[in-house]
Chains A and B, each alone.
Chain A
Amino acid sequence: GAVVSQHPSRVICKSGTSVKIECRSLDFQATTMFWYRQFPKQSLMLMATSNEGSKATYEQGVEKDKFLINHASLTLSTLTVTSAHPEDSSFYICSVGLAGFPGELFFGEGSRLTVL
């Protein structure tokens, strides 16, 4: 499998500020990482696919200018929530796939964002 770590695990910010969440692949190099959003009592929704060295691919309905994704290295992807508002409060989870494990994902612990 793969070990994926996110930081911070919890963050509280004021409305209008930007927040960066990091996702690290600790034991292998990930050319692709996936960012999910989880609402209370809701399923996980794929927000975007982060591609190392190129632009992220966003799912329909996700604002790319609001949720900036950077995948500058093979072990790090970042999600920046810009000009955060209370409706952006959610649980954000990153994950990676491994060649040889089709369809399986390895998840980070998640980051809970609360916007006041």
Chain B
Amino acid sequence: GDSVTQMEGPVTLSEEAFLTINCTYTATGYPSLFWYVQYPGEGLQLLLKATKADDKGSNKGFEATYRKETTSFHLEKGSVQVSDSAVYFCALSDWGSGGSNYKLTFGKGTLLTVNP
């Protein structure tokens, strides 16, 4: 079945540091890939997405590129801020193989703490 593996946290960085959170996946079809973010006390919200190979999703300074050859979707940001402290979830939606296009498979989440 489908699965998502992301680096375990917690990750602690200083403000303006470079961030990478690794994410790899396995899927039988043609998945769309997502990064969701959960700020303290809030629900999950979509951060960025990519729907096909070589697509780059970007939002709020975060980027991730859909790499089919390495089955990866690593999240990066060049300069993190304290306000980026949150839990980040990598996820896939594999609807090309007949799965529901709303059924998401999530990684375990990575807690990021950014210190001033």
Name A residues whose Cβ lies closer than 8 Å to a Cβ of B. 4, 6, 32, 34, 41-44, 46, 49, 93, 95, 97, 102-110
B66 at the interface (CB under 8 A from A): no
**Residues of B with C-beta under 8 A to A109:** 41-43
B73 within 8 A of A: no
Number of CB contacts from chain A to chain B under 8 A: 60
List 16 contacting pairs A-B, 8 Å CB cutoff, sorted by A.
A34-B103, A43-B106, A43-B108, A97-B101, A102-B101, A103-B32, A103-B93, A103-B104, A104-B34, A104-B49, A105-B44, A105-B46, A105-B104, A106-B46, A107-B43, A107-B44
* A102-B43 contact given A43-B89, A44-B89, CB 8 Å threshold: no
Cβ A103 vs Cβ B101 within 8 A: yes
- 19 other A-B residue contacts (CB within 8 Å) besides A4-B43, A102-B95: A41-B108, A41-B109, A43-B4, A43-B89, A43-B106, A43-B109, A44-B44, A44-B104, A46-B103, A49-B103, A95-B44, A102-B32, A102-B101, A103-B51, A105-B44, A107-B45, A108-B43, A109-B41, A109-B42
Distance of A6 Cα from B107 Cα, bound (Å): 23
**B91 → A minimal CB distance (Å):** 8
